Homo-oligomer: A and B are copies of this chain.
Amino acid sequence: MDIKYPNGKSFIRNQNKTKQNKITKKKASYSNRGMQLEEMINESNEFYLTQDICVVHKKPTPITVVSVDYSRRASTRINEAYYQTPSTLDYSGVYKSKHLDFDAKETNNKTSFPLSNFHQHQIEHMERVKKHGGICFAIFYFKTLDKIFLLDAEVIIEYWKNQSNGGRKSIPIQVFNDKGNEIKIGYRPAIDYIKIVDKLYF
């Protein structure tokens, strides 16, 4: 089956196909396939879209275009551009008429998630979305532990703010166990976050 990202790009499961196939035969688990969190969420969103469950897309990465070549007939070529720091979150969409807004984060840490992975603007965005009644959270992938958690934005905002009052610079794994919701990696969808959203917000 030809799976495509929302941007129309073909989804390639793994560049190293031979290695890939061997592993898949051993154990049909996403965690062993070396998939990145973003890929798994994109695939899940594609599944939700085709199953008519919700409409969630990854926002394009913000890029500042500096120089463009308009002389080409077929397509305008961008010759110089730079990545911007995102001021919102990666994913947004609609579920049961509510606005969904969330981010996806990965870490190799085993004991906590470093807050340096967030930007001030993203935290402000989370606060605003929550205030206006949107559903806002982040999905965290502790790669070494092979554990995925959904954590409501409120907890993230709380830890972010405590930093400047001499608080920790990271969210301990215990907080994810206590206040977060673990998502077991599945087949389709890989990351069934809507199940948690249903439980937490409806």
A133 within 8 A of B: yes
Task: Specify which chain B residues have a CB less than 8 angstroms from the CB of A88 in the assembled complex.
Answer: 6, 57
Judge whether A85 and B132 touch: CB under 8 Å.
no
| CB within 8 Å for A97 and B99 given contacts A76-B83, A78-B80, A134-B55 | yes
| Binary CB contact string for chain A from 119 to 144 against chain B (1 if under 8 A, 0 otherwise) | 00100010011011110000000000
Judge whether B78 and A63 touch: CB under 8 Å.
yes
Judge whether A128 and B49 touch: CB under 8 Å.
yes
A148 within 8 A of B: no
Provide the main secondary structure of the chain A interface.
mixed
Closest CB-CB distance, A103 to chain B, in whole Å? 14
Judge whether B54 and A132 touch: CB under 8 Å.
yes
Judge whether A81 and B82 touch: CB under 8 Å.
no
| CB within 8 Å for A132 and B76 given contacts A8-B87, A62-B60, A84-B7 | no
Q: List 29 A-B contacts (CB under 8 A).
A: A6-B88, A7-B62, A7-B64, A8-B84, A8-B85, A8-B87, A49-B128, A54-B132, A55-B132, A59-B59, A60-B60, A60-B62, A60-B63, A60-B84, A61-B63, A65-B81, A77-B82, A78-B83, A92-B92, A94-B99, A94-B133, A94-B134, A95-B132, A97-B133, A97-B134, A98-B133, A99-B99, A99-B100, A99-B134
